[in-house]
C-alpha cells in the first residue's frame, strides 16, 4: 500500500473496509458492498472519504491572474463564495488535470487537483508565478484538509441537521464556512455522483469526529467510480492522461469549462492550441457505450467498427442503477453519433454496443 | 471474519470447490467476498472436456475480472445457466444456488486438491 493515508485510515480499517492504492494514497474502496453503497447515494444519502483529493491555496494581489493564466475557464469572473470547474492544459491544449476552483475572498482561492497531482500542480503554479513575476502565495495544503463528499437526494437534510439549516440555501457550485462540532469547515454544493450533494473540507485533526456526525452509509472509491461512470464524468489519469491518453477538452466534451476569451489578450496556457481545435473541430469524441449483449466493458478494451479497431474503452462497469453494462471511451467523430452501433472486443469476441452521449441517467 | 468451508468439499488454491458426491463446482465464500458484487459469469458449454486446473470460465465483479479454474479433469454434464441472469447468486449462496458446473470427473484428481482444513489454513 502507498505511503499517504487519509486521517481516518484506522477508523475505516476498524469498520472492515477494503483498501486500494489510488494516486499514491491508500483509500477505502468498499465498506459494505459497492452496489449497496451506490444505491444509498442514488436513493438516499452516502458519505465518501475523499481526503486523497489535493488542496492548493493561492492568495495575494495576483492570485486571480496566476490562476487565470493556468486554467481554461474564466477565473476572473468568479464571484466570492462560488466554485468553477476548469481544465489545466499545457501549450498543446492537452489536459493535465481537471479541477474545481473556489473563490474564498477577493484575493484568496482554493483549487482541488486530483489525487497524486497536488505536488505537480503546486510546482506548476510556483514556476509560472516566478516566470510571470506575479505577487501571490501558493501553498499546498493537501495534508491540512480532510475532504468528505455527502451525496444523494437526502444529503440536504443530513447536512442541514449536522451543519445548520442555513446550508439548505447553499446554491449549486457555491461554498461557505460552516462550524461542525467546533471544527471550522468549508462546505460546498459540489460532487461527482450526478446527485445533489455537498463536499466538506474539514481540518485534518477534526476529521474523525466530524465524520461520525454524518450518520449515513459510508461509501468507498468503488461506488464513487460506478456513480461517476453513470453520470458520464471524466476520471483524471483514466479517461484522460497527458502520457497514456492525451486529450484536449473538446475531445473530452468538457468545452463548457473552456472560455477562449478568458484572460484577455494574454489568455491562458493552451489557449491558442484550443482555439485551433475549436475552429477545426475535434477528430475524436468522448462517448458513452451501452452494451447490447452480455459482458462488461473495461478500461483498455478495443472499440471496433467496420472490422477495424477505431477506439478504446477508458472506463466501464455493470451499472448498478440500470442493471446494464455501460462504458465510456473515445472514437472518431464519424462513429460518435448517438445510436451508432459499434463493437466492444471482450476477450477476443466483439459484443454489440450502442453509442450514447456520456451520462446514462436520463432514462432511469 | 470467518468464512464457511464445508468439510465434505475439496478445494483449489485459486478458491474453486468441487463436491465429490455430485461433481458440482463453484467458488468459495471467501472468494466471493474478495470479489464483491458479482455481475457477470461466463461458463463453458455442456459436454466440454476440461483438464484439472484448466480455465473453464470468467467471473466479473463490479471491480475485478477473474479466471475460473477446474478442480478436476472431466466432462461438463450441466451448467448453471441461472447465473447468466442472476450472477448475484454466487454472492448469496456460493456453495448452493451459486454452483457453476457439474462435472463427470476423475476421482484420482481429488488427491491433488486441498482438504477443507488445508484450505482454511490458506485463507486464514
Please give the model's pTM, rounded to 2 decimal places.
Answer: 0.95
Residue with cell 471491480: B63
* Chain B residues touching A18 at Cβ < 8 A: 36
Short-list A152, A13, A36, CA closest to B36? A36
In this structure, CATH architecture of domain A283-359:
Beta Barrel (2.40)
> A30 and B40: CB-CB below 8 Å?
no
Among A157-161, A265-269, A276-280, A329-333, name the one with the lowest average pLDDT: A265-269
Domain layout of chain A by residue ranges: 9-53+143-231, 283-359
Convert A203-222 to b/e letters by CB count within 10 Å (16 or more is b): eeebbeebbeebebbbbbbb
* Domain B10-123, CATH: 2.40.50.100
**Cβ A58 vs Cβ A111: under 8 Å:** yes
Q: Å from A214 to nearest chain B CA?
A: 25
**Cβ A321 vs Cβ A364: under 8 Å:** yes
* pLDDT tens digits for range B5-60: 999 999 999 999 999 999 999 999 999 999 999 999 999 999 999 999 999 999 99
* Chain A residues touching B84 at Cβ < 8 A: 294
- Helices A63-70 and A118-132 pack at an angle, to 10 degrees, of 110
pLDDT above 90 (res A2): no
- Distance (Å) of CA A60 to CA A119, A121, A129: 20, 18, 12
Strand order across the B38-42 sheet = B38-42, B55-61, B65-69
Residues 6+ apart with CB under 8 A from B108: none
Residues 6+ apart with CB under 8 A from A295: A325, A344, A346, A351, B40
CATH class of the domain at A9-53+143-231: alpha beta
- Look up residue A181 and give its three cell numbers: 462540532
Strand order across the A137-140 sheet = A83-89, A95-105, A108-112, A56-59, A137-140
Short-list A180, A189, A186, CA closest to A156? A189
* pLDDT tens digits for range A78-122: 999 999 999 999 999 999 999 999 999 999 999 999 999 999 999
Question: A9-53+143-231 and A283-359: same fold?
Answer: no
Instruction: Decide: helix, strand or coil at residue A144.
Output: coil
Q: How far is Cα A207 from Cα A114, in angstroms, rounded to an integer?
A: 20
- Distance (Å) of CA B73 to CA A34, A57, B94: 35, 63, 21
* pLDDT tens digits for range A281-292: 999 999 999 999
> A35 and B1: CB-CB below 8 Å?
no
- Give the model's confidence band at B1: pLDDT under 50 very low, under 70 low, under 90 confident, else very high: low
Identify how many contiguous H helices and E strands chain A contains and give both numbers: 8, 19
Q: Tell me the pairing of strands A108-112 and A175-180.
A: unpaired
Strand order across the B74-79 sheet = B10-11, B16-18, B24-27, B101-105, B74-79, B49-50
* pLDDT tens digits for range A3-30: 899 999 999 999 999 999 999 999 999 9
State the pLDDT at residue A363: 59
pLDDT above 90 (res A45): yes
State the pLDDT at residue A362: 84
**Cβ A239 vs Cβ A225: under 8 Å:** no
DSSP code of A241?
B
Q: How far is Cα A99 from Cα A76, in angstroms, rounded to an integer?
A: 16
> B62 and A29: CB-CB below 8 Å?
no
Interface of B with A (CB under 8 A): 1, 36-37, 39-40, 58, 60, 62-63, 65, 84
Residue with cell 449515513: A216
Q: Please give the average per-residue pLDDT across B62-90, as a whole number.
A: 97
Q: How far is Cα B41 from Cα B61, in angstroms, rounded to an integer?
A: 9
> A34 and B84: CB-CB below 8 Å?
no
Q: How far is Cα A51 from Cα A147, in angstroms, rounded to an integer?
A: 4
* pLDDT tens digits for range A96-105: 999 999 999 9
pLDDT above 70 (res A359): yes
* Chain B residues touching A222 at Cβ < 8 A: 36, 62-63
> A296 and B63: CB-CB below 8 Å?
no
Is B10 buried (19+), middle (13-18) or exposed (0-12) by CB count in 10 A?
Answer: buried
Site from B62, B67, B83, B92 to mutate, A interface, most A CB atoms within 10 angstroms: B62
Sign of dihedral through CA atoms B81, B82, B87, B93?
A: negative
Checking B18-22 for CB contacts under 8 A at 24+ apart, the result is B18/B71, B18/B72, B18/B103, B18/B105, B18/B110, B18/B113, B20/B107, B20/B110, B22/B102
Residue with cell 468507498: A220
State the pLDDT at residue B106: 87
Q: Å from A36 to nearest chain B CA?
A: 9
Interface of A with B (CB under 8 A): 16, 18, 29-30, 33-35, 222, 226, 294-296, 298, 317-318, 320, 325, 347
Instruction: Decide: helix, strand or coil at residue B57.
Output: strand
Domain layout of chain B by residue ranges: 10-123
* Residue-wise DSSP of A95-111: EEEEEEEEEEETTEEEE
Beta pairing partners, B55:
B69
Amino acid at each position: 500500500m502507498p505511503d499517504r493515508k487519509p486521517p481516518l485510515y484506522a477508523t475505516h480499517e476498524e469498520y472492515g473496509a477494503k483498501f486500494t492504492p489510488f494516486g499514491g494514497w491508500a483509500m477505502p474502496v468498499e465498506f459494505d458492498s459497492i452496489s449497496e453503497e451506490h444505491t444509498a447515494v442514488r436513493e438516499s444519502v452516502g458519505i465518501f472519504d475523499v481526503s486523497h483529493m489535493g488542496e492548493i491555496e493561492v492568495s495575494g494581489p495576483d492570485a486571480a491572474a496566476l490562476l487565470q493564466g493556468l486554467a481554461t475557464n474564466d477565473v476572473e469572473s468568479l464571484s466570492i463564495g462560488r466554485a468553477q470547474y476548469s481544465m489545466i492544459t499545457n501549450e498543446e491544449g492537452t489536459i493535465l488535470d481537471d479541477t474545481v476552483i473556489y473563490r474564498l475572498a477577493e484575493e484568496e482561492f482554493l483549487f482541488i487537483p486530483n489525487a497524486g497531482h497536488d505536488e505537480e500542480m503546486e510546482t506548476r503554479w510556483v514556476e509560472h508565478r516566478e516566470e510571470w513575476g506575479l505577487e501571490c502565495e501558493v501553498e499546498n495544503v493537501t495534508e491540512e484538509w480532510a475532504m468528505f463528499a455527502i451525496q444523494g437526494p437526502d444529503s440536504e437534510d443530513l447536512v442541514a441537521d449536522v451543519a445548520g439549516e442555513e446550508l439548505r440555501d447553499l446554491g449549486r457550485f457555491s461554498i461557505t464556512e460552516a462550524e461542525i462540532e467546533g471544527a471550522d469547515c468549508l462546505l460546498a454544493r459540489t460532487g461527482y455522483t450526478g446527485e445533489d450533494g455537498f463536499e466538506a473540507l474539514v481540518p485534518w485533526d477534526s476529521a474523525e469526529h466530524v465524520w461520525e456526525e454524518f450518520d449515513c452509509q459510508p461509501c468507498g472509491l468503488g461506488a464513487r467510480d460506478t456513480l461517476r461512470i453513470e453520470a458520464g464524468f471524466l476520471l483524471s489519469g483514466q479517461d484522460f492522461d497527458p502520457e497514456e491518453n492525451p486529450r484536449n477538452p473538446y475531445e473530452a466534451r468538457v468545452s463548457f469549462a473552456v472560455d477562449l476569451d478568458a484572460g484577455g489578450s494574454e489568455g491562458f496556457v493552451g489557449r491558442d492550441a484550443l482555439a485551433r481545435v475549436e475552429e477545426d473541430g475535434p477528430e475524436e469524441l468522448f462517448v458513452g457505450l451501452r452494451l447490447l449483449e452480455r459482458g462488461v466493458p473495461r478500461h483498455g478494451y478495443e472499440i471496433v467498427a467496420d472490422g477495424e479497431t477505431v477506439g478504446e474503452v477508458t472506463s466501464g462497469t455493470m451499472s448498478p442503477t440500470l442493471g446494464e453494462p455501460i462504458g465510456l471511451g473515445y472514437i472518431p467523430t464519424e462513429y460518435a453519433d448517438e445510436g451508432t452501433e459499434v463493437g466492444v472486443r471482450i476477450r477476443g469476441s466483439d459484443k454489440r454496443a450502442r453509442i450514447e452521449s456520456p451520462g446514462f441517467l436520463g432514462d432511469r | 471474519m470467518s468464512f464457511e468451508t464445508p468439510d465434505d468439499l475439496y478445494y483449489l488454491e485459486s478458491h474453486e470447490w468441487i463436491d465429490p458426491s455430485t461433481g458440482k463446482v463453484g467458488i468459495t465464500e471467501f472468494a466471493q467476498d474478495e470479489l464483491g458484487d458479482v455481475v457477470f459469469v461466463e461458463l463453458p458449454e455442456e459436454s466440454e472436456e476440461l483438464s484439472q486446473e484448466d480455465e473453464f470460465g470468467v467471473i466479473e465483479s463490479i471491480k475485478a475480472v477473474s479466471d475460473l479454474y477446474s478442480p478436476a479433469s472431466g466432462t461438463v454434464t450441466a451448467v448453471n445457466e441461472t447465473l447468466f441472469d442472476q450472477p448475484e447468486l454466487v454472492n448469496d449462496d456460493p456453495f448452493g444456488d451459486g454452483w457453476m458446473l457439474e462435472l463427470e470427473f476423475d476421482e484420482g484428481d481429488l488427491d491433488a486438491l486441498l482438504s477443507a482444513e488445508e484450505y482454511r489454513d490458506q485463507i486464514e
